[in-house]
Each structure stands twice: as C-alpha cells, then as structure tokens.
Structure 1
C-alpha cells in the first residue's frame, strides 16, 4: 500500500478525479486517482477511473485486510502502463489531499470543416437540434458555433441509438468523418451529454456565436423612400429572427397570399433562406426539411390552413425529431380574422412573425405574434406592398442578393396597383435590369394566372421561372408572354359572358355602383376567379367613366368589393354589419377600399342592401385613386 508521504514531501498530495469521457491519454504513472471498485477477484480488485479507464490493483500490493466490495470508492496510484495497454494500480492511504478534476483533452474541430477531415477521427461539441430515426442508424444533427452536422449512430436496424440523448442536449461527439452522396457526416463512436461547467461553457460559446451569426446583413434600401426607411429596423429584427431560427435548426413554415404581391414577397425570402440554410447546415437536404412555402387562397389565415400546418409540424416532430416550426406570414395575417388560427398555434411552441400591408387590427393580432411589420402601423398605407418590404428583408437575410431582385418590387407594386410616387423609381430600377413596363405587367398577370391554377401548391420552380428569381432566364422570357396572353384570353372570354349582366345605379354620394352576380353570370371553376372577374369589370368601368366607382361581385354567400374614388373602410363596415344584422354571420376584410366578405346565404339580400347603403354614405375622394388588388 502506498503511504501518504511517499514522494510528496510537505505538500498535500493531489488526487485526480477523471471526467467520465477521459481516456488513457489523460493518465500518467505516479499520479493518484479517485476510482470505483467494479469487481473483486482472488488476485485483487478491478477499478474504474472513468468510462474508458480501468485496471487492476493486484493483491500483492496490499495486505489483504481491506474488505472491498463492488461500488466502493477508493484512491489508487497508477504504478505501471504495460506495453499491451493494461494499467496496474496500488491502493493509497491518504488522510489529507487535494482533489483536482481533469477533463478529457482532445482537439475539437468546427462543424463547418468536417469536409476537410474525411477518414479522420474528430471531436465536435454542440447542441442536438434534431434526432431522426431511420430504418438503419439514428441521425443526430449537432450544431456548434459554425454549422450543423449530421452524426450517425448505429444500433440494431431501426433501433434508437443512445436513447438518453434528447433534442436540446449539449453533447460531445467523437467519430469518423465520412462522405456520402456529396454530404459529410460523422459516424459516431462516442456521444456524451455534457453537464455542469462543461455544459455551461459550451452553451456560452454557442449563444455568443449564434447572436453574432444571426445579425442581419447591413444593406441600403433599393430606393430612397422615407416611408420605407422607417420600417427597416423592424425588418432587420425579422431578418435576425429568421436567421436565428435557421441556425437553431427550427423549421420555418411560410404562408403567403396566393397572388402576385404575395409571391413577389415570398419567393425572394424563400430564396434567401434557402441559401442561408445551405451555408449553415452540412446537409444537402436541409433546406427541404427546414423551409416550406405555402400559398393561402383566403385573405386571412384560415383555421383549415392552421390545422394542416399544425398537423404537419407535429408529424415532423414525431417522425424526424424536428423542433416545432416558426410561422412566417407574408402579405397576410394582420387582421382579427387571423386570430382564431393564431390562438390554435399558441397552444404549442410555434412563434408567429407577420409582414403584411393590409389594414391591420393590432389590438387583436399583436398579443398573439412575436413580430408584426405593417406600413399602417407607421402611418403609411397599402402603397408600400409586402413584396417591396420582403425584397429588402431577403437582402438582409443573405449577402449579395440585389441584382436578381431589382425588378421584383416593381412587379409587386404593379400586382397590387401601388400608386406610390416611388413606383417611378422601382420601375426605373427594373428597366435598368432589363425589364420594360409591359413585360413587368406581363409577369404580374402570369403570376396571378398560375396562382389560380396551382391552387394550394407552391409550384416552386414554375414560380421561380416566372418571377426569374433563381429560375431559368431563357425559359422566363418565353414563359411569361405565353402565360400573360393565356390569362388575357381567359379574362376576355369571361367578361364577354359577364358584362351584359352588370347592373348599374348612381348612389347617394354620386358614385357609380356596379353589381354582378358572378355565381350565375360568369363561368365557374375557371380563370379568372370571382375576385379577379370583379376586379376586371371594375377597372373597365373606372376607365370608361373617369368617375368614382364601386363594384360588387357577389355569390350565394360572398361578396367581392372594389372601390375607386370613394373613401371606404371595409373592416369597419364588416363590424357594423355584424352588429346590425344578427344571424348574418358577416366576416372578412382586406384593404380599406378593396376586400371580400362572407355571410350566410339566407341573409344575402339584407347584407348587400345594408352594405350598399353604407357605401352610398361614404365620402368621395377629390382625386381618383386606383384601389389595390385583392
């Protein structure tokens, strides 16, 4: 047995407490260690110093009077490291000593550099952001300060490896780097959940790096527009939130209105996020799993869409070990009609971010969302379209996105009929990029046409080609005129059928009121839809009269409203109709002067009569201002 004073002089001896992950690389002959007995045999006792370090205390090194049992804690001295790697110890009787903890020493690499270490054994520390069980290995996606890397661990086929490891754990991974189908991964030999100071140190590193990498790109807006300038800090905050979600491995589910402005808003953001995801994750399939763009036909977030989104999110979490997503609402999401769906998502950990330009109800919406960007909240209006806002947002998300997006704000403005003075600047910017006004208008019509044809499908590559964002330039130049002409032919056919049935009257305030029963006097289930049909009739009447015009296209349980030169407030009218006509079930909204409402079929005549009466009392504008599309 080793005596306390042996070789230590007057100083207190040091006893090393090895971390569980330590290997024989961290031990040295002559040192004292804390150990635990793991077996008692005739010729001595076996002891463990860590999960990977063990050895024998031979009975010849102690007097045999010690009554040792499995799980007893002892202090030992390492006396010899044999050529075959076996370790020999002897018991140490130390009455007074100092304990020093020793961590496993290794050269940690950054996850973004795994491709430089193919065939090598590496160590990575980070947070588990996804656990996916396949028919073969368990795949742990681990994020460090630089990137996220897939780490594959094998058990029996289809059996969960390392079941104690959960999403959100901070871990140390040791394994061999392999390349598989153009993607680099670590085949795990060890994975340990970190705790205590080690975990705190890793968490601190990750948080600091995450905050730095989530910072948006500093860009100047494409045009000089003071009204837009005041919204840039909020857009920067949204960009920061989206970049952080990508870095944390949180999926993003993007909902947008299925029209020209909605697609001009969502496609640039989708492109920017896809590029950022590919940079941040060492996985060619990461963008497919982490980002979904989904059109919404209604001018608000319907419970049907929310239920579908929630169902997919919960299913993805169960099947693929993903976090629940962030919901990004674009060109939609600012009204009271959105709140039932928001409340459904608020039962889960699903943050909601809104960028919109429709007349908002902040008292109803803001308590349910994390961020809400809307020009009306800055004293502006619909003339700043969501597409204009989102082009700037996309440029903040990913560096270098300018040339491929310079024409998009003009498309968004034409799609939603923005009459902002700055449209001149956007059109000039587009001309410099090679797009004349007629071609831009054709893009707008082609987007509207395909939005109808795609229904609920995002049609990613097709829409990219039409808008020419990450699309095929040659195909873009051929496809846009074809679709625009096809749309114009369908519109002309629809108006030929519907126009003879348009009813006209002059209401009390002097405006021209036009009514059309689009259910019975227009082709159904074909382009253009009732909203587009009403809008096209409205535009013709504005051009014909040069006077204030109100147009209503109605069916059994809905009405589409368009107005030029009349100061309407459709959201307020909806509230008043609900109070005045109990049982009518009026809902809907949109912009102040353009929108759509729904009601129960049996109350159609009462709702339309009351609606027209309110419109007849509205003030006229001194100048005729074309309303936005909806």
Structure 2
C-alpha cells in the first residue's frame, strides 16, 4: 500500500481514483495498450491532418486529437511540431489507435502532481524522485572516479626525444589505415520502397519524388514516393533547422541513407540528398509513371450486367478507375463531388465503398480513410465558382498547413453542364485533376475542361443513371466489392427500372419494393444537412447486413418520405394552374405560395413527382418561386432557348440559366410577374417548335 500524492489516503499506487485526473503522467511505455484511459499525459505535437492533430505520447506511441475535441477551430491552433501539450487518453482501440482529448490545463504547474508512467516499474515514480535518483547516480559515478594526480616534479614531464618523434611519425603513418577503414564502409544498395522492409540496418539509395517536406523540432522529414510506395526520410542539420532547404515538393531526387524503424514504421536516416536534373530526372519520372499506371489500371473491363450504355464507355470507365486507384497509390486525397439527390448519393457511395478498403490497405486503418477520401454533395448538378472556391481554399490550407498533396476531384452525376466549366478551370489553375462521371448530355466545352469524361451520351442515344456508371467504376476500382454494389443501379431509377438491373438487385437479395424504400430513404436524408456527406448514415442505409434486414432502417425513413411528399403533392395539386398557349398545355405551380420553404421535399424533387403524375395532361410543368423557376418536360425542351426567349420578352428581369440540365432558371425577384409570363410564353413556343420538328 502507498499514499496518494494529493490527499495522502491509502491507495495501491501513487494516486487515488478521486485525484487521478489532477495528475499528469509522462509515458515511458512502448505499446498503446500500456496507456491508462482517462489519465492525462504530456505529449508533443507530431503533425496536422484535416481531421485533427497527431500527438506523440512518449517516444513510441502516437494518438489522434480529433478536431471535435478542441476548444477552438483547428485552423486557428498555433501549435508547431515538437511543441509540448497536455492531453487525456480517452480510448485505446483494439487496432492500437489512441483517441485523445484536449486538457484545459496546458501548463504542467497547473496539475497538482506529476508521475512517471513506466509499465516496467513496480509503481509510478514522482518526477522529483526520478531526478533525485539520477543525481545520486551521478554523484556515485563522480565518487568512484579517481582524482587525477598532478605532477610536482619536473622529472614527471616527459622530455621530447627522438623516440617520441618516432612515435608521432608512427601515428601519422597509421592515418591512411583509418581512411581505408572509413572508405571500406558498406556501399549504398540501390533499392525501391517496397524492398525496405527487408533492408532494415542497411545503407540504401532511393530515387523518387518528394511528396511533402515538414520541419519538426528535430530533423526535417521528407516523404519520398517512388514507383512502389512512400517512405519518410529524416535529415538532420541542427535541431529545428531545415535540412536541404533547396529541396521542395515535386522535386525528383536521389536519397542515400540507412533504413531504420521508428515507432514501428520504416524511416531512412538521410546521409545525402541530391536533386536530379535532365536525363536522370526524366528517367526516374518515366519509370515511376509507367509503374504506377501499370499497377493502377484494372486488368480488363467487365460490366455489372449486360448493358449497351455501359459497354459504350468501357475504356473511359477503366480510365476513371485507374485515376482513382492511382491517387490511392500515390497518397493523393480523393474528393468526390456529387449531385445532391438519391442518384448522386447512391453513385458516389458506390465509389466510396470500393475506395475505402484500398485506402486502409495502402495507408493503414484508423483515420486514414477520412484523410484520403471526402465525399461532398452539391446543391444540384452544377459545380459553380462558389463550390470551386471552397474546394480550392480547403485544398490550399491542407497543402500549406499539413503538407497534403493536391487531391483528385471526381464528379458524379454532376459537372456535365456548361455552368461547371468556370469551376473546372479554377481547379485546372492549380493542376488538380478532374474526372467527370455523368449520365446526361454533356454540353459543349466540358470535355475540354476535364481530364477524364465518362458519359454514354457522347457515344450515342443512351439513357442510364449516374449510379449505373458509378457502380461500374467502383467495381473496377475494387473488384472485391463488385457483389456488394449489385443492387445500387435499381435504387437509382424512380420509374422504368431496366429489367437487367431489377434482376441484378434480386440476385443480391433486394426486390423492387426494397430498392424503392432505399431510394426514398436516401432522397429524404439527402435533403437534411444537404452540405454534409453523411457517410456512415448513407452506408448504413445502402449496405445493411442482409442476414438481418437489408432495408430495416430504410423502411422507417421511407415511410416518412411518403407521408411528407404526399402532403406536399396534395397541396400542390390543389393549386396547379393549367395554361394553354398556342395550343400547348402547360401546368404552372406557384412554388413561392404553395410549397413549404426549407422543408422536405425540395422543389426539384416535388416537381419531378408532380410531373410524373400529370404528364399525360400537359407537355410541360413549370414551378415559379421567388427568384427562380424549374421546368419539367418529356420532349427534351431546350432550357437555354426558353431562358433566352424569356429574356428578350422581359429584359428587366435578368433571366438567366442557373442549371440547364436541372431545368433551373433565375430572374430578379422584383420582376417576378414579368419573368413568370415570359417564361410560360417562351416554354409554349419551344414546345410548339419541338412538335413541328
């Protein structure tokens, strides 16, 4: 038994349970499971990520201080690598990940005591006790060393003789032998990153690209990527001083050093680093390019089921899958931007489902999947300057603060309209690669603004869904999840689901009623918190455990969907206006007056359902709100032509297309009445022109 260092009560150890949170510990263990949850520990900042701060607890264990645990925004934290902070160990997971919390005490003096947490010791030591022990050890060493005896006679001083001269000459003659010994050190062995696991303790030569360079309180750490993987290379100039300041991210270099393990991870202790130029640089770049493309490219194309629309874009699908797989290999974050509807969510979730296991395999479990993959819904299907500016800002912050490489952007069910081109051009300014997977007609200029484009409409008169394409891309990103994606295409069709996808869903264990419930549940959840990806919730909906109930959660949410949309449809139908212009019948709904603002369903979804129920009565439906209108038709109305004609008729309304493929047109709210009438007339003219054609 001992006494608590705070209150003096009897206790096993050095602190009682009541006062354990008043003590800060210094960790001397080597394994995460040796930490004690709920204790406060002294740590040092190791680095930043988008989702939090990595903190070293002792010399061998690193934990994550998630941004949600901070008392201020992550981007406002003024902490440098190597800086001391105090954190609480909240949880040690089975996989070794350590969850940390922020301590409001950020000075050691604010704790009521300090202990050493050494798993090899019988009990914790006070900091002061350890200091005293070290002092006693030093004193003992000093006492044990004999005092040097000073000579008091001249005879004790050696005289310079010919013999001593000969001895000095003998020493000089031995110097070449020392040089030969140094020269005989093992030469550097040419190696690649994937070979380093078997070369620990050896001196190696690596060639590749500098991914990141970060300065710690000690060495400068360069992350080197070659054609087989990445490894950290530590170069020490002086504590906290940048080694090789001329080396920057993107440089092709040769590094020589010794392979070591640090906290279980491989690291190269750098002895020399040289920037390669001209032919040497080109040779390394070409070798890396060929190797990564070969590794990333899917072996062959195989559709989920027979589908001419998908087979028409077999090579672009392989190209898209290659780009995603390559980003994973290179440690490049992937940002998926998708339409904010059920089709967009299902399509992007298919790619997410395929990508996350590969990220875990490549970069480890834990928070890696959140660091290297982000799914962000769009308001509609347009990627505008507002979206692009937000992405660029986040991208540059991550690059400058955390050394993150520029991401690969994948647009799913979005990006095919001309309104997205300015956003793509802004990304291109920073050389961020862009992949578009879109099922609808691709407008002029889009193909030139992106790197990879997947759309059957470029190959012929095909109709499909974004999820059909997204699931097929996902199956080629990761063939291991192919069977898990089989039901998703059927989820994406609101009506007239192709027979082959109904059959494929049935093979996966989902009947038509199941896929309907999933579609409606995802549509409802897509509306709420529409700017959040809702990763776990959407995954739970779309990929439930079939052995239990594949649509248990979805069924409950689907019931809410039906109740809410039926209420809105009933109100809308009671206030539908039927207009006949030049023998063309158009249904008009005043969405400003007869829909609930900021409530489910959103106007586009409501108008879709309303038109499906009444399209036999009219050629088109237009919903007119405060400063925008949505057009629905079944004859391929050219929304841009409608907006142009309406603009000529109501020049003061500033009529403009906001999203042609979404049927969305904007105007000035002060000219709403004029814009409304002009749009109805222009829509009737367009319908008549289509009838004539």
Q: TM-score range by the shorter chain?
A: 0.7 to 0.9
Note if contact 2:518-2:551 (Cα within 8 Å) is conserved in structure 1.
Answer: no
3-state SS in 2 of match to 1:322: coil
Aligned twin of 1:80: 177
Note if contact 2:417-2:660 (Cα within 8 Å) is conserved in structure 1.
Answer: no
Gaps of 5+ in 1: 1-55, 62-76, 89-102, 624-630
Note if contact 1:509-1:617 (Cα within 8 Å) is conserved in structure 2.
Answer: no
Aligned twin of 1:550: 620
Judged with a 3 Å threshold, the aligned counterparts in structure 2 of structure 1 residues 368 and 201 are, in CA distance, closer, same or farther, namely: closer
Note if contact 1:150-1:283 (Cα within 8 Å) is conserved in structure 2.
Answer: no
Shift of 1:432: 1.0
Aligned twin of 1:355: 437
Shift of 1:474: 4.7
Judged with a 3 Å threshold, the aligned counterparts in structure 2 of structure 1 residues 580 and 506 are, in CA distance, closer, same or farther, namely: closer
Aligned twin of 2:480: 400
Aligned twin of 2:641: 572
Q: How does 1:111-130 map to 2 (within 5 A)?
A: 111-112=193-194, 114=196, 124-130=206-212
Note if contact 1:295-1:458 (Cα within 8 Å) is conserved in structure 2.
Answer: yes
Aligned twin of 2:567: 493
3-state SS in 2 of match to 1:327: strand
Judged with a 3 Å threshold, the aligned counterparts in structure 2 of structure 1 residues 133 and 267 are, in CA distance, closer, same or farther, namely: farther
Judged with a 3 Å threshold, the aligned counterparts in structure 2 of structure 1 residues 57 and 280 are, in CA distance, closer, same or farther, namely: farther
Q: How does 1:20-169 map to 2 (within 5 A)?
A: 79-81=176-178, 85=181, 105-112=187-194, 114=196, 124-133=206-215, 138-152=220-234, 160-169=242-251
TM-score normalised by structure 1 residue count: 0.74
Q: How does 1:314-333 map to 2 (within 5 A)?
A: 314-333=396-415
Q: Which has the higher helix share?
A: 2
Aligned twin of 2:577: 503
3-state SS in 1 of match to 2:338: strand
Q: Deviations over 1:475-506 (max 9, x none)?
A: 75321111111111222333344433222234
Note if contact 2:301-2:318 (Cα within 8 Å) is conserved in structure 1.
Answer: no
- 2:274 corresponds to 1:193: yes
Judged with a 3 Å threshold, the aligned counterparts in structure 2 of structure 1 residues 227 and 132 are, in CA distance, closer, same or farther, namely: same
Shift of 1:137: 5.9
Q: Distance in 1 between matches of 2:260 and 2:171?
A: 44
Gaps of 5+ in 2: 1-167
Q: Distance in 1 between matches of 2:477 and 2:219?
A: 34
Q: Distance in 1 between matches of 2:492 and 2:557?
A: 17
Q: Distance in 1 between matches of 2:560 and 2:614?
A: 23
Aligned twin of 1:599: 667
- 2:319 corresponds to 1:244: no
Shift of 1:58: 9.9
RMSD over aligned Cα, in angstroms? 3.6
Note if contact 1:567-1:621 (Cα within 8 Å) is conserved in structure 2.
Answer: no
Note if contact 2:205-2:257 (Cα within 8 Å) is conserved in structure 1.
Answer: yes
Judged with a 3 Å threshold, the aligned counterparts in structure 2 of structure 1 residues 268 and 614 are, in CA distance, closer, same or farther, namely: same
3-state SS in 2 of match to 1:328: strand
- Which residue of the other structure, out of 586, 597, 600, is the alignment partner of 2:655? 586
Q: Deviations over 1:571-617 (max 9, x none)?
A: 3323443455434333336576x622211112322322222223324
Judged with a 3 Å threshold, the aligned counterparts in structure 2 of structure 1 residues 490 and 200 are, in CA distance, closer, same or farther, namely: same
Shift of 1:129: 1.6
Q: Name which of structure 1's ranges 599-608 and 283-292 shifts more when overlaid on structure 2.
A: 283-292
Aligned twin of 2:532: 457
Aligned twin of 2:632: 562
Shift of 1:264: 1.7
Aligned length: 522
Judged with a 3 Å threshold, the aligned counterparts in structure 2 of structure 1 residues 473 and 555 are, in CA distance, closer, same or farther, namely: farther
TM-score normalised by structure 2 residue count: 0.67
Shift of 1:104: 8.0
Judged with a 3 Å threshold, the aligned counterparts in structure 2 of structure 1 residues 550 and 113 are, in CA distance, closer, same or farther, namely: same
- Which residue of the other structure, out of 539, 546, 556, is the alignment partner of 1:482? 556
Aligned twin of 2:81: none
Q: Deviations over 1:213-239 (max 9, x none)?
A: 132241311222223211111222222
Q: Deviations over 1:549-585 (max 9, x none)?
A: 5222221101122224x44222332344345543433
Aligned twin of 2:79: none
Higher RCO (CA < 8 A, seq sep 6+): 1
- Which residue of the other structure, out of 543, 553, 560, is the alignment partner of 1:468? 543
Q: Distance in 2 between matches of 1:521 and 1:453?
A: 21
